[in-house]
Amino acid sequence: MFERKLVFVVLIWGAMAISPLWAQNDAEDARGSVAAPAGSATVSTTVSTQPILTVTPAPTKSDEEEDDDNEKPNAFKPNWSGNMEASYANQNTQGGQGQITEQVLLTGDYHLTEGGHYLSFALGGGQQMLEGVPTDLGTFSVGGGLGLGFFQPSLDTQVQEGAQALISITSTLTLEFQVLKPVALSLTLAGGPESHQGAVSQLVGKSDAVDEIDSYNLTPGGMISFTPWDILNVTLTGQDEFSTTYQYQNVTHTVQTALNQTEQIPSATLGANVTCFTDFLLALSYQLGEEIYPAGVIYSPIKGKTVKFGTPTTQGFTGFTLGLTYNL
């Protein structure tokens, strides 16, 4: 009997101990639920208190490059530009018709930097007078320049080969100074050898029907350029060419005769470049000068042939050039 009472007391004590926990759970369930009408389901509205973890993907290389492009929308990239030029030049002297040159030239410029460094290549062909005969020729040139702010030096070498065994090499060094925004001053120095064949035996006293004439020239000069508007550029050029015929020889190069005759050719040229229809450039120039000949036999680059004078002689000449360039 005593044992039954003891068990009954223990059960009652345990029930009293756990009743507060049941009450607490019932209160929490009441707060996290919404009472529904009779016969309907109970909808739970418990809100999670766990923090939301957002994972951001790492930027890819292409995304970084795109950001760099967005930061530098006008970043310079090396590029090509080109043009095609057709030109005609005619020179007249006191002694008669002078040199006539017709040429078509395709030029490509590779711009290396935004400051103005570049490489230039040109290829073309045409015709000029040699010993009074229209002579076909081909032209190739290569050059380049530096953009150093107001100072822009450049060097260009042109090679011509053609009929009558013509070969001519001319290099031109140009030092350009941008004095003011519309005004630039340039110093130039050009020179190189030239060789061709022609029927000049009556002048040089040879028995061969054809002889070879060898010469070289050196031409210092200067130019002032004025650009009042984007569509117009005006230039004034002065130069003093020294053309030396140093020998003539037979076509087999077995007999050479020294001449060492130098002709001086001072001249001035006024030119204008006009932009038309955006992609076309019209070039016009007028030249005025004189040839100062020594006595004897000498090749005249203005006349385009070999001449002979008994005494030193000076003759004036004029010339004009017409050119049309299309920007590709």
* 257 shares a domain with 153: yes
Q: Closest Cα to residue 285, out of 225, 217, 216, 326?
A: 225
- Number of structural domains in the chain: 2
* 30 shares a domain with 84: no
Structural domain contains residue 43: no
Provide the pLDDT confidence category of residue 74 given band limits of 50, 70 and 90.
confident
Structural domain contains residue 66: no
* 86 shares a domain with 4: no
Structural domain contains residue 307: yes
**CA torsion sign, 308 to 314 to 315 to 319?**
positive
Structural domain contains residue 40: no
Residue 2 DSSP code: H
Q: Transcribe 45-58 into DSSP letters.
A: -----SPPPPPPPP
* 95 shares a domain with 25: no
Q: What CATH number is associated with residue 313?
A: 2.40.160.40
pLDDT at residue 300 tops 80: yes
* 229 shares a domain with 306: yes
pLDDT at residue 5 tops 90: no
pLDDT at residue 99 tops 90: yes
Q: What is the pLDDT of residue 22?
A: 46
Domain that holds residue 4: 1-34
* 312 shares a domain with 173: yes
How many whole angstroms separate alpha carbon 304 and alpha carbon 200?
12
Q: What is the pLDDT of residue 38?
A: 46
* 175 shares a domain with 233: yes
Which residues touch 162 (CB under 8 Å, ≥6 apart)? 135, 136, 137, 138
pLDDT at residue 232 tops 80: yes
pLDDT at residue 325 tops 90: yes
* 159 shares a domain with 25: no
pLDDT at residue 27 tops 60: no
How many whole angstroms separate alpha carbon 252 and alpha carbon 61?
68
Residue range 180-226, pLDDT digits in tens: 989 999 999 999 999 999 887 667 766 567 889 999 999 999 999 99
Q: What is the pLDDT of residue 93?
A: 93
For the chain, give the mean pLDDT: 84
Q: What is the pLDDT of residue 199?
A: 83
Structural domain contains residue 73: no
Strands 118-130 and 133-145, by their bridges, are antiparallel
Mean pLDDT (whole number) for 98-116? 96
Structural domain contains residue 279: yes
How many whole angstroms separate alpha carbon 58 and alpha carbon 101?
66
pLDDT at residue 45 tops 70: no
Q: What is the pLDDT of residue 71?
A: 53
Q: What is the pLDDT of residue 16?
A: 55
* 19 shares a domain with 125: no
Structural domain contains residue 58: no
Q: Which two tokens stand for residue 258?
A: 């020294």
Structural domain contains residue 174: yes
* 146 shares a domain with 29: no
Q: Name which residue leads in pLDDT, 47 or 244.
A: 244
Residue range 247-287, pLDDT digits in tens: 988 888 998 989 999 999 999 999 999 999 889 999 999 99
Task: Please give the share of the chain, as a percent, with pLDDT higher than 90.
Answer: 66
How many whole angstroms separate alpha carbon 148 and alpha carbon 78?
17
* 147 shares a domain with 20: no
Q: What is the pLDDT of residue 223?
A: 98
* 129 shares a domain with 24: no
